[in-house]
Amino acid sequence: MEKPIKVLVVDDEKGIRYLLSEALLHGGFEVSLARDGQESLEKLENNHFDLVVTDINMPRLDGVSMLKSMRQSGREEKIIIMTGNPSDQRLTDKDLPQVVTRLCKPFDMDKFLDVVIAATANREVQAIQSQTR
């Protein structure tokens, strides 16, 4: 039996955390949730994840600071960034770990799952642009 792929979802908005969690669980992933960068670092201390999906703008510890800390501690999880501001200059910081892709909020859940599947299968991933209806 194949072990499930473990994904950590980090977002300060409860609704987004649970929406992404439900989509990932339905897709067969094992999911953990964190409310901000600080809580995610605490979860990372005692667990290994295959993928971290994180928002950037969060209270306490933002996504950029969290990612820098992950890189400094030698973490090797794949990373997908979610942001409502794709031109955020902090995302070009050279101290950030390599990012698989950036998802521009809002995004389609089916495309989100496609990106996660591709990222965890080591395939090329295309950025998802915001889709306003």
Q: What is the pLDDT of residues 4-58, one digit of tens each?
A: 899 999 999 999 999 999 999 999 999 999 999 999 999 999 999 999 999 999 9
Q: Is the pLDDT of residue 127 over 90?
A: no
Q: What is the pLDDT of residue 87?
A: 82
pLDDT of 89: 86
Average pLDDT over residues 86-113: 89
- The CA distance from 40 to 27, in Å, is 22
What CATH class is the domain 6-120? Answer: alpha beta
pLDDT, tens digit, 9 for 90 and up, residues 53-75: 999 999 999 999 999 999 999 99
In the chain, where the domains are located: 6-120
pTM equals 0.89
pLDDT at 123: 56
The span from the CA of 72 to the CA of 46, in Å, is 16
Contact 80, 52 (CB under 8 A): yes
pLDDT-based confidence at 1, cuts 50/70/90? low
